[in-house]
Amino acid sequence: MKLRKNAHRILLFGAALLFLSYSSHSQTKRIKRPKSSVGISSVDQFVRESFDVYDKVYRYDGYYKTETPLDDSDIDILEDALDDLQGLSDSTPNVLRGIDKANALKKAKATLQINKAKKALAYSIKTAKELLLGQRERDKKDDTESTSPNDNSTGGDSDTSDKKADTNKEEDLNISDNLEIYSKFDFVPGDKLLFFDDFSNDFIGDFPSKWNTNASGEVVKIKDSGNWFELKSGYGVFFIPDVKDLPEDFTIEFDLLTKGISKQTSSTARFHVILSDNNKFNNGSEHYAQVTIPVGQYGAFSLRAKNYFNRRVGDINTDVKADVRNAVLNKPHVSISVTKNRYRLWINEKKYIDIPRFIQELNVLKYLKFHINNFKDGEEHLYITNLKVAKGGVDLRRKLLSEGKISTNGILFDSGSANIKPQSYGIIRQISQVLVQDESIKLNIIGHTDSDGSENTNIKLSKDRADAVKEALIKIYKISGDRLQSDGKGATVPVGDNSTPDGKAQNRRVEFIKI
């Protein structure tokens, strides 16, 4: 009996050895996710998010080891995961500061869990990069802890008071309205409108008619702010406006609105703007360039710029250090200018990105896409409106000097008023430069509106808007009032179809004519 028992044990031991031998050549042992929370919100969130991304990468590593080919959507998910990993790495200093005031027991537990999360991050970053580059090789000496699927419980967040305070907070108005700051704003929108959508022609609750997606979204009405399009979060989810054949030189502008964003928002929650070579539901087939804007609030997370050309990772994969936390809470206006290879991006009046050779191949990026991920479903929201795409390339200063007049729909006003939107000051600044360069020039400023409202109202509104531009040139740029006149034509001289949002946007314009 004893011999049989020992033989049985030997057989079991031999089977275990065979299993371990197979496992060591198939995939690294899984790192165990902590079963309980620490009770420090920043630590619990960091650990939870680290293991959420780790699980994704580990799963795709498993596909690789079973020789299951990765398709385009798998590659997109891995690229998003790699972006998320960088954000989590950036947040580590903020997490460590969060444990300073904890008691000794919590500090010890937090340190253990942070170290385990960092180990998971190190594996994930290395593996994701190798999988994307096709260079994945198994390190047989990986020494990590094993776990079963039942160990994937997430820790709770014991600190909920900040979350309640933040999510109950009412929307703030856009605070970036200091005109002295905007007087140096140098973004100039393109002069030929290619696409405009403020969703005014869409029914509330519907998906917008001039967009496409592989998920869902809807137009909503925000009190005193008009119609907005709510984007839905998800890996591999894209929102594509009907913009095609982007030229070499163009500009993109839009307004964003967030709701429910707080210190509990994921450090990996991001808004992606993608220039692509196709209109499919992926980043691109052979070429794309993207910039992502973080919305998380518990740390200052970087903007990211990444390009991909000729089916290979491009020269740019950059984290741009910035603190845009306040901006994303306050209806930011985003402006993008592409001039051949050069790519610039502003949030409100501040330029955050200016990469001279971001667009490595000309005339291949023809489409615009948006994507958001890692927003809590039903709690955290992101909306977009006033998307405007225009062909650029004309220097308004040179045109005014050579032709004696220019017309622009890039000077924007609050709806129904003569309040100049701050992002319009790039154009007004250019006009001032012409007047400073040649002091003999005098200008007549003429305002135009769309056909909404009565004729008398529009005549008055257009005149008031021309007066507002005149006052900006006088007060901000110190141009003598004797050199400026103003007039308003209302909707009497349309250049576009007033029955469409695009046409209305073209008709809302300001002319500058040399006297």
DSSP 363-383: T---EEEEEEESPPTTT-EEE
Determine, yes or no, domain membership for 164. no
Q: Per DSSP, which regions of 81-163 are E strands? A: none
- For residue 485, how far is the Cα from the chain centroid? 41
Question: Residue 442 — very low, low, confident or very high, per pLDDT cuts 50/70/90?
Answer: very high
Does residue 148 carry a pLDDT above 50? Answer: no
Determine, yes or no, domain membership for 174. no
Determine, yes or no, domain membership for 6. no
Start-to-end CA distance of the chain, whole Å, equals 114
**CB proximity list for 81: less than 8 A, separation 6 or greater:** 53, 56, 57, 124, 128
Does residue 174 carry a pLDDT above 80? Answer: no
3-state secondary structure of 387: strand
Determine, yes or no, domain membership for 11. no
380 and 430 inside one domain = no
Does residue 188 carry a pLDDT above 60? Answer: yes
Backbone angles phi, psi at 86, to 5 degrees: -65, -40
Out of 102-106, 147-151, 237-241, 262-266, which region has the weakest mean confidence (pLDDT)? 147-151
Q: b vs e for 19-38, b when ≥16 Cβ sit within 10 Å of the residue's Cβ? A: eeeeeeeebbebbbbbeebb
402 and 373 inside one domain = no
Report the candidate in 404, 266, 289, 263 with the shortest Cα–Cα distance to residue 344: 289
Calculate the alpha carbon distances from 27 to 10, 22, 82 in Å.
26, 9, 19
Report the candidate in 291, 293, 309, 289 with the shortest Cα–Cα distance to residue 301: 293
CB-CB neighbours of 159 under 10 Å = 18
CA distance 24 to 72: 28
198 and 124 inside one domain = no
Amino acid 425: pLDDT = 86
Please report which residue ranges of 270-370 form alpha helices under DSSP H. 325-329
Amino acid 490: pLDDT = 95
- Count of domains observed in the chain: 3
Q: Per DSSP, which regions of 340-415 are E strands? A: 342-347, 350-355, 367-373, 381-391, 405-408
Q: What is residue 495's DSSP assignment?
A: S
The fraction of the chain above a pLDDT of 90, given in percent, is 51
Asked if 304 and 83 count as a contact pair (C-beta separation under 8 A), the reply is yes
CA distance 291 to 287: 14
pLDDT in tens, 48-81: 888 888 888 888 777 766 666 666 666 666 667 6
Amino acid 97: pLDDT = 65
Residue where a domain stops, chosen among 159, 193, 223: 159
428 and 477 inside one domain = yes
CA distance 432 to 67: 64
Amino acid 349: pLDDT = 85
Mean pLDDT across the chain: 82
pLDDT in tens, 250-279: 999 999 999 999 999 998 999 999 999 999
489 and 364 inside one domain = no
Longest dimension (CA), the chain: 114
416 and 462 inside one domain = yes
Question: Residue 8 — very low, low, confident or very high, per pLDDT cuts 50/70/90?
Answer: very low
> Quick one: average pLDDT of 204-233?
95
CA geometry: angle at 161 spanning 155 and 164, to 5°? 100
Query: Which CATH number covers residue 353?
Result: 2.60.120.560
373 and 225 inside one domain = yes
Determine, yes or no, domain membership for 5. no
Query: Which CATH number covers residue 505?
Result: 3.30.1330.60
pLDDT in tens, 308-318: 999 999 999 99
pLDDT in tens, 286-305: 999 999 999 999 888 999 99
Residue where a domain stops, chosen among 391, 418, 444: 391
Question: Residue 154 — very low, low, confident or very high, per pLDDT cuts 50/70/90?
Answer: very low
Look at 23 and 473; give whichever has higher pLDDT: 473
CB-CB neighbours of 453 under 10 Å = 15
Does residue 393 carry a pLDDT above 70? Answer: no
Look at 146 and 115; give whichever has higher pLDDT: 115
Question: Residue 463 — very low, low, confident or very high, per pLDDT cuts 50/70/90?
Answer: very high
Asked if 233 and 373 count as a contact pair (C-beta separation under 8 A), the reply is yes
121 and 269 inside one domain = no
Amino acid 225: pLDDT = 86
Amino acid 28: pLDDT = 64
**CB proximity list for 282: less than 8 A, separation 6 or greater:** 72, 73, 76, 236, 238, 276
Determine, yes or no, domain membership for 95. yes
401 and 319 inside one domain = no
Residue where a domain stops, chosen among 369, 391, 413: 391
3-state secondary structure of 62: helix
> Quick one: average pLDDT of 191-220?
94
Give the range of the structural domain holding residue 132, as residue numbers without chain letter: 25-159
Amino acid 133: pLDDT = 65
Determine, yes or no, domain membership for 439. yes
Look at 422 and 389; give whichever has higher pLDDT: 389
Determine, yes or no, domain membership for 12. no
387 and 452 inside one domain = no
Beta partners for residue 240, in sequence order: 212
146 and 233 inside one domain = no
Give the type of residue at 279.
N
419 and 439 inside one domain = yes
Asked if 157 and 264 count as a contact pair (C-beta separation under 8 A), the reply is yes
Backbone angles phi, psi at 514, to 5 degrees: -65, 135
Out of 172-181, 215-224, 252-261, 304-313, which region has the weakest mean confidence (pLDDT)? 172-181
> Quick one: average pLDDT of 120-136?
75
Q: What is residue 208's DSSP assignment?
A: P
**CB proximity list for 454: less than 8 A, separation 6 or greater:** none
Does residue 149 carry a pLDDT above 70? Answer: no
